[in-house]
Amino acid sequence: MKKIHIALIVLIAILLGVIISTVSESGTYVSFKTATEKPDRTYHIIGKVNLQKEFIYNPEKDANVFGFFMTDTIGTEKRVLYNGTKPQDFELAERIVVVGKMKGDDFIASQVLMKCPSKYNKTGEEEGGEWSNGSQRPQ
């Protein structure tokens, strides 16, 4: 057996590791309902910000908690508490993705991804915006 064959076998083994670890570490897009059922797991939730309800942000009390109400894709609304500052132009976000877990009746988010509208897009296409990162987690 050539050494190259051994190397190839090791390579394939590591590749399997890559696939398995990625799949097992990968998040899942769910609704608030699923997240409520499994409060110990971290999920990605896509939804819309309820702009009718007031944002909760008292930087003078705590600069690192920003709260808002969000409706997921099937229509459940929950309060989201994001561990960070209020992202720039959060009011303009059309759709957002929050990453975190449920605690009681609140969703505790460690990351918030916003999709801002391209304001001149008259057709209102789905893809007509750019995503920007609202969260800067320490690495």
- Binding residues for other proteins restricted to 69-98, rule: CB under 8 A: 81, 83-86, 88-89, 92, 97
Least CB distance to other proteins at residue 17 (A): 9
* Residue 61 binds other proteins, judged by CB under 8 A: yes
- If one asks whether residue 108 binds other proteins (CB under 8 A), the answer comes out as yes
Which residue of 33, 62, 74, 75 would you call a contact of other proteins, by CB under 8 A? Answer: 62
Instruction: Compute CA 73 distance to the chain's CA centroid, rounded to the nearest angstrom.
Output: 14
Nearer to other proteins, 60 or 105 (CB): 60
For residue 42, which of 111, 90, 122 has the smallest C-alpha distance?
111
Q: Which of 16, 37, 51, 59 binds other proteins (CB under 8 A)?
A: 59
Are 45 and 98 within 8 A, CB to CB? yes
Q: Is 52 in the site for other proteins (CB under 8 A)?
A: no
- Which amino acid is it at 130? E
Spatial distance between the Cα atoms of 6 and 91, rounded to a whole number of angstroms: 57
- The first and second tokens of residue 115, run together, are 């999709």
Q: How far is CA 78 from CA 35, 41, 70, 102, in A?
A: 11, 17, 6, 10
Largest distance between two CA atoms of the chain? 70
| Residue 26 makes contact with other proteins by CB under 8 A | yes
Give the binding site for other proteins (CB under 8 A).
2-4, 7, 11, 14-15, 18-19, 21-23, 25-29, 42-44, 46, 59-65, 81, 83-86, 88-89, 92, 97, 99, 103, 108, 110, 113, 115-116, 118-123, 125, 127-133, 136-139
